[in-house]
Amino acid sequence: MVIFDLDYTVYDNDPRMLQVLKEWAARPEATGRFPVESRMIGALPPDKIRYFARDSVREAGLDDTQTAAVMTDLLPFSRSRFLDNDHTLIDPLIPGVRDLIQALVRAGAKVVFLTGRTEAEQGAATRAALARDGMAEDGEHYFLYMKPSGTKSDGSPFTDEEFKRGRAGDIDKLGDVVATLDNEPVNVVTYTAMYPRAMNIFVNTRWSNKVTLPGSGVYRIDHYVAPA
């Protein structure tokens, strides 16, 4: 089996973030309260998108004072839309990843999509996107595991690392994990402990600021290469 994360490992989230920012910038509430800042954010080019909305806003040319003021309104707006089904469908595949995944399946591997996306917010769109892109969950070649929600029963955050570690028992029943691919360093290091004999690969796209201890025996991929 080969485990793939989805966001910034299989799918490029930049277009989704750009769409959400432009929707915010076009709102009458934004243009009225932040006339200069909304124009700057509305003109943000795709190559200026960053992992966090705040950093993307700064790339539009806003100073620290403007950014702080804008984020009080933009942050709740962006969170509610960035993680919904309609906007999740915007994500395009990262070039080359489908060729790699389908080549693995032809070679006899099972592909497990193990993602921190939540079933309640993004489940429908995630399944629709995988079907659209020829990798639909089928219980034979493709498997999908998503968090039921973003919080645990006690109300504390359900981190991606906790979720992925907790699904090891289910995944291990499917076969032997020979490789993992993830863009988050903390998850890659977690996989090195879970599957020390596997090829654990850091996908060098975008990642958060979550701190992790150094890992050993980690591979790195900068660009997917289509099989010959």
* Number of C-beta neighbours around residue 226 at 10 A: 12
Indicate the fold that domain 2-12+92-221 takes in CATH.
Rossmann fold (3.40.50)
Structure confidence by residue, pLDDT tens digits, 104-131: 999 999 999 999 999 999 999 999 999 9
Structure confidence by residue, pLDDT tens digits, 27-43: 999 999 999 999 999 99
> Would you say residue 214 has pLDDT above 80?
no
Instruction: Select from 51, 62, 50 the least CA-distant residue to 25.
Output: 62
pLDDT at residue 228 in the model: 59
Comparing 69 with 214, the larger pLDDT belongs to 69
The domain spans of the chain are 2-12+92-221, 14-88
The H-or-E segment that residue 160 falls in is: helix 160-166
pLDDT at residue 226 in the model: 65
pLDDT at residue 182 in the model: 97
Average pLDDT (84-112) is 96
Inter-CA distances, 56 with 21, 79, 211, Å: 9, 14, 21
> Would you say residue 169 has pLDDT above 70?
yes
Comparing 212 with 221, the larger pLDDT belongs to 221
Please report, as a single letter, which amino acid is at residue 83.
L
Average pLDDT (52-78) is 97
Structure confidence by residue, pLDDT tens digits, 121-162: 999 999 999 999 999 999 999 999 999 988 888 888 898 999
Instruction: Select from 1, 10, 42 the least CA-distant residue to 24.
Output: 42
Chain mean pLDDT for the chain: 94
pLDDT at residue 2 in the model: 98
> Would you say residue 227 has pLDDT above 70?
no
> Would you say residue 14 has pLDDT above 90?
yes
Over pLDDT 70: what percentage of the chain?
A: 99
Average pLDDT (158-169) is 92
Least confident range of 4-8, 18-22, 164-168 = 164-168
> Would you say residue 67 has pLDDT above 90?
yes
Residues in Cβ contact with 35 at an 8 Å cutoff, skipping those fewer than 6 apart: none
